[in-house]
Chain A
Amino acid sequence: MRAAAKLPARLRHLAVLAGAFALPGVLAAKLSPTTRFTLQELEREPGLNPKEFADLFANFRFEGSPVIRPPEQFLGERRGDCDDYTVLADLVLAKRGYQTRCIQVKFAGDNVGHAVCYVTENKAYLDYNNRRYFVNLERSGQTIRQIAKKIAASFELDWTTAAEFTYSYETMRKKLAFVVVKTDPPDRDPDRGRYEGHN
């Protein structure tokens, strides 16, 4: 402030005008897929919606892991798998007020499943496999069965069970809320009737 006070009045005015001109750009500086970012930056990102969230992970690489990586590791290494992406999306978007659900699907003949983060407002799920595509939100029905069917179709595989789960980074525990079995009658699914009022 003292340096500014020594400037001639004209220059001071110019500096104020330049600052006013540059301020919106500074305020609007957004994260990009090419830059590294942290969880805090992600959480502070203005106006972040599910589509923009998915766009930020376009340059992430895939690396499978039996455990879910903490956000710092996932974002720092810029590599991970569907579980890491799903749990992080659930964390960030839920804080933004979105109604999100983590869904995991087990495939037939394959002990490794797949996980996605369903966003009720968008009637679509975020899939780590779609992060590089322009359309990175896959539209789907809301029930676990509908989501599982869509995910299995994208893998060209049959599914056996699907579950809605929650994960806590603190306890590192995954809890299955509802488990749907494909061979069960749909009207006996444990999540039946939960989404009827949601549009």
Chain B
Amino acid sequence: MKGTTDPDPMKDITLSRILGFFGAIFAVVVTVAVVAVVNINRAGASRDWVNQTYATISAFEDILATARAGDTDTRMFALSGDDRDLTAAREAFGAMDEHLQIAEALTRHTPAVQAAVSEVAVLARQRVTLAEAVWQARRENQPERLRQLLADDAGSAAISTIKRRLEKLRDDQFALLREREQVAYRQAQTTRWVVGTGVAGNLVLFCAVGWLIRDDLRTRRRAALALEEANARLEEKVRIRTADLTEANRRLSAENLERKWAAQSQDHQLRYNQAIVKSVNDLVFVLTRTLTITRLNPAVLRATGREETDLLSQPLARVVSLPGTPDPALSALTRALAEGRDLPDVQVVIAGRPARLNLFPLRDRDKVVGGIAIAQLEPLPGPTHS
């Protein structure tokens, strides 16, 4: 479970780095896009401004052209009296008035220029007033007045003043255009630089991401190979261990079988031995080191006439006594056991009958843990033949 829940730290670091790089790439793209959009908008505004400036210059030129045309057509009408000349003069001055209005509108947010245009407008409208006076004089056939009007105007520098001022205004507009062009050039350079830097930066970032992915893949391949080798080693170990366990199991099974057989054999032997012990006429006592009876054979019961339960856990002295000695504790037997030596052929009395007792120490390894006493009752005296 731990392996499935723990995140792969290598994977997390790589993913974080790749996400970081892509974040940086995105940021660069957004920055470049924003700068580009801002510059496009600026370029649009700049184009509008340039268009307006050219429209203003065009209006100035149109004012001058129509003023001149109106002036010329008025003089022509004064000379010819032809209505077509009058119409042409009216149209020219009408157009001039339109151009003046447009020029005033175009310059309404630059007060200095608008003031200059207004001055030109005043001069131009004076020309219209003069022309209207000429038209009237010509239509009413007043040659003297007509001559006077034209003579007064001959020395006037009105048209050249209008021309000079309009040319000055036009040159100022061209100067503004030149300045704006320089600004536009610098903006274009900035845009180029930003876009170029952004592209180069993104290229570097893409290379870094590529390198990171390549490095990560290589590390993963190495890790996979190491894991594969470790798995192979583990599988080999498991195989060997399984073989060992199988062998051990087989051995244990055989040992168990042998033990079982041995136990069965011992059990049989024990039962044979017990049968032998039970079947002999000798009295057999199994004793502790303190001569307490722990086992006995049926011959004892027959000889003593007692029950087994009466004798077990009882001292041997209860059944056996030494004749002619004041040693109810049978200390000679106790001593022999303590010294770990056999005590053969001891004259004893059992149930009032003389008997011969042999004592053999029982050993557990080197230590005497008890003893076996085997007694043979003396034969009863037979009937005497006299």
Contact = CB atoms under 8 A, between A and B. Distances in A.
Interface of A: 66-67, 106, 108-109, 111, 158, 160-161, 163, 165, 171-176, 179-184, 190
A176 B98 contact: yes
Contacts of A175: 97
Interface residues of B, number: 24
B73 to A, nearest CB: 13
Contacts of A108: 51, 54-55
13 contacts: A66-B95, A108-B54, A158-B48, A161-B55, A161-B102, A161-B105, A172-B94, A173-B90, A175-B97, A176-B101, A179-B101, A181-B108, A182-B48
A183 B94 contact: no
B58 interface: yes
Contacts of A172: 87, 90-91, 94
B109 interface: yes
B49 interface: yes
A163 B100 CA distance: 13
B369 interface: no
A174 B58 contact: no
Given A173-B90, A182-B48, A183-B49, A161 B98 contact: no
B170 to A, nearest CB: 15
Contacts of A176: 98, 101-102
Nearest to B90: A172
A108 B56 CA distance: 11
B176 to A, nearest CB: 13
B140 to A, nearest CB: 19
B106 interface: yes
Nearest to B91: A67
Nearest to A160: B55
Contacts of B55: 106, 108, 160-161
Contacts of A180: 105
Contact of A181 (B47, B54, B105): B105
A165 B98 CA distance: 10
A184 B109 contact: yes
A174 B94 contact: yes
Contacts of A181: 52, 105-106, 108
A63 to B, nearest CB: 17
The 5 A-B pairs with the shortest beta carbon distances in the complex, nearest first, are: A179-B105, A108-B51, A160-B55, A176-B101, A183-B52
A78 to B, nearest CB: 23
Contacts of A179: 101-102, 104-105
A165, A173, A181, A184: which has the most chain B beta carbons within 10 Å? A181
Contacts of B95: 66
Contacts of B52: 160, 181-183
B310 to A, nearest CB: 135
Given A67-B91, A183-B49, 12 more contacts: A106-B55, A108-B55, A158-B47, A160-B106, A161-B102, A163-B105, A165-B98, A172-B91, A175-B97, A179-B102, A181-B105, A182-B48
B102 A106 contact: yes
A173 B90 CA distance: 8
A132 B337 CA distance: 148
Interface string B45-64: 10111011011001000100
A106 to B, nearest CB: 6
Contacts of A183: 45, 48-49, 52
Interface string B115-148: 0000000000000000000000000000000000
B108 A173 contact: no
Contacts of A109: 51, 54
A158 B46 CA distance: 13
A114 to B, nearest CB: 14
A187 to B, nearest CB: 13
A158 B49 CA distance: 11
Nearest to A157: B51
A109 B55 CA distance: 8
Interface string B258-288: 0000000000000000000000000000000
